[in-house]
Amino acid sequence: MAMVANKDPSPAYAETVEEIMKIYRSLPPRPSIEEVEAAISVINTVELQERLRLEEISKQLPPQDVLPELFSVLQQVKKNMVLFQSYEQKKEAVHFVELDNIFNVFDGLIQKASGFVYYNK
C-alpha cells in the first residue's frame, strides 16, 4: 500500500494529532530511570525477605501443649501478616514500575502516530 504525500492536512487530521499530544502532555511526570531501577531493587529485596520469612514460619513446630490445628491457625495469621507487610513495603515501588510500563505504552503509540504524521508531510 503506497502512502500519498499530503502537504496540507485536513483540520480533522491536525485536531487528531493535537488531541494525541494534549493527552500525552496531561500525564504526570515520568519516573526517572534511577527511580524505576531503585523500585525494582526494592521489590526484589522485599520479595526475597518475604520468601525467607514465610519459610521460617512454615518450619516452626507447635509447642507440646498446643493443638496442631490451633498452631496452624497461628502460622496462617503470621504468614498473612508477612504478606501484608510486604504489600505495604512494595506499594510505592510497584507504582513506579507500573507507571513506567504505562509510559512505555504511550511512547510506542506516540512513535506510531509520528510515523503517520511523517508520511503526511
pLDDT of 11 higher than 90? no
Per-residue pLDDT, averaged over 114-120, amounts to 74
Residue 102: Cβ within 10 Å count? 13
- Per-residue model confidence as pLDDT tens digits over 15-71: 998 999 999 999 999 999 999 999 999 999 999 999 999 999 999 999 999 999 999
pLDDT at 1: 41
pLDDT at 121: 58
Angle ∠(27,99,25) on CA atoms, nearest 5: 15
Is 120:13 a contact under the CB 8 Å cutoff?
yes
Q: Is the pTM of this model over 0.85?
A: no
Return d(Cα 89, Cα 18) in angstroms, integer.
40
- Per-residue model confidence as pLDDT tens digits over 68-85: 999 999 999 999 999 999
